[in-house]
Structure 1
Amino acid sequence: MVLIVEFEIGTPILRRTVAAVSRIDVEEIYRSETGAIKLVCWVYGDDPEAVEPALEADDTVAAFSLLEDPGDRRLYSVTLSEQGQAHLTYPTAAKYDIGYREVTVTEDTNIRARVPTREALFAYRDICREKGIPFRIQRIFEESAAAGDRYGVTERQWEALTVALEEGYFDVPRETTLSAVAEEIDISAQALSARLRRGQANLLRNTIGESTPT
């Protein structure tokens, strides 16, 4: 049975930045065409003007750009420095087919992930510790018992997919635009694009991805 695991790691990534704000939600982690590791993340805080000086002073950040500023939060594209990449655990998670669902940075980095087996979880944990990254499991439960998990799709992904479907985004030809759907659920178009991709990947992985062709 596939597991949903909530755990905490003590990675230094964005640690200096989050000290100046209240919370960072990572929407997407990916490797660019140039090979750089990038994060798309929402930054929350009472003082928006403190965000960019904190990013500039963060030695895990090589570069950043503002993507969206709806007022109560800001969406940034962040390129990790060599220091940041050295402490990134996402490639290890991918190696063991562990899929991140939610990543929230506060005093520590809290991750909610879909894990195929306990062996994969413990292998991931051991590599984190080998890198000097503290690892602590908070909760483990079977995916079928996870509230809001339907075919491996999180509640936010389910909302994005449902609204996009209802508005005709998946029709041929399309009846609406990505920006219009994003406005409907009050997120940026780039954040919506990332959420749709993750939702579709989870949906496919837990439907046709688990079937055996005959």
Structure 2
Amino acid sequence: MIRAQFHVQLPEGTWVAEVSRSFPEATFRLLTGFRAGSTAIELGEVEADDPDAVSAAIDDHPSIVAYQRLERADETVVARYETTDIGLYEAVERSSVPPEYPITVRNGWIEYEFTGSREVLDRFRTAVEAAGLSYELRSVVGNENSSGLLTDRQREVLAAAVREGYFEVPRECTLADLAATLEADKSTVSEILRRGEGSIVKWFLTGTDGDTEF
């Protein structure tokens, strides 16, 4: 079993791509949704400094055929809406990978997480590539044949890197910051990160440990 997180760049023209790029600091969360023929019915949340402005932009988008605000808090709006943008559901149907809610969108990128076998992940990646979308594999965690994948030190350094925001885009800490947190030499931390990342990527692509050549 593998748990992975992809960031997928949304195609131009979809409401969430256009509105999220217009409000790059806002966070959009799809809480649940389902396809209803040529449209999709969704429940979504927006978190922003000015959620009313973001909510109005969603309501005004031509892909939104119905919009109902359900709740308004200090920096959030929850709404039920109907949209003609059904690309997410078509991709799910092609890959047979059910979505795991909530699904988060920021500045034109969707953060997609799911759990399944390597074959399931490969189907999802194939579907994304077939759609011509750019994507980033942000993390992958598995419990099959991976007990010896990382050394204790590699696991410690990678965990600290995730915790401190080293892998965020943009990064929330530099390599120097991370080395200071670990009380280690910068070049040593860089080497440990490189080897650990290499082991994880090779294991994900081949199903073998990081020493395998391919």
Summarize deviations over 1:64-88 as a string: whole Å, max 9, x none: 211111232000112121xx11x22
Structure 1 residue 63, shift from structure 2 partner: 2.5
What is the DSSP-based 3-state SS (H/G/I as helix, E as strand, rest coil) of the residue aligned with 2:140? strand
Aligned to 2:3: 4
Normalised to the residue count of structure 1, the TM-score between the two structures is 0.56
Structure 1 residue 94, shift from structure 2 partner: 8.0
Structure 1 CA distance, aligned partners of 2:106 and 2:128? 19
Please tell me the residue identity of whatever aligns with 1:26. Answer: L
Q: Name the % identity.
A: 15
Structure 1 residue 60, shift from structure 2 partner: 3.9
Q: Is residue 2:64 matched to residue 1:65?
A: no
What is the DSSP-based 3-state SS (H/G/I as helix, E as strand, rest coil) of the residue aligned with 1:124? helix
Structure 1 CA distance, aligned partners of 2:122 and 2:44? 27
Counterpart pick for 1:75 among 55, 59, 78:
78
Higher CA-based Rg: 2
Shift of the 138–59 alpha-carbon distance from structure 1 to 2, 3 Å rule, reads farther
Aligned to 1:27: 31
Aligned to 1:120: 120
Conservation of the 8 A alpha-carbon contact between 1:65 and 1:76: yes
Structure 2 CA distance, aligned partners of 1:4 and 1:112? 7
Structure 1 CA distance, aligned partners of 2:131 and 2:142? 28
RMSD: 2.7
Aligned to 1:196: none
In the TM superposition, 1:135-146 aligns within 5 A as 135-142=135-142
Structure 2 CA distance, aligned partners of 1:29 and 1:134? 23
Structure 1 residue 101, shift from structure 2 partner: 4.0
Normalised to the residue count of structure 2, the TM-score between the two structures is 0.56
Aligned to 1:36: 39
In the TM superposition, 1:1-214 aligns within 5 A as 2-12=1-11, 13=14, 14-18=16-20, 19-20=22-23, 22-32=26-36, 36-81=39-84, 84-85=85-86, 87-89=87-89, 92=92, 96-107=96-107, 108-114=109-115, 116-142=116-142
* Structure 2: unaligned runs, 5 residues or longer: 147-214
Shift of the 7–90 alpha-carbon distance from structure 1 to 2, 3 Å rule, reads farther
Structure 1 CA distance, aligned partners of 2:114 and 2:93? 9
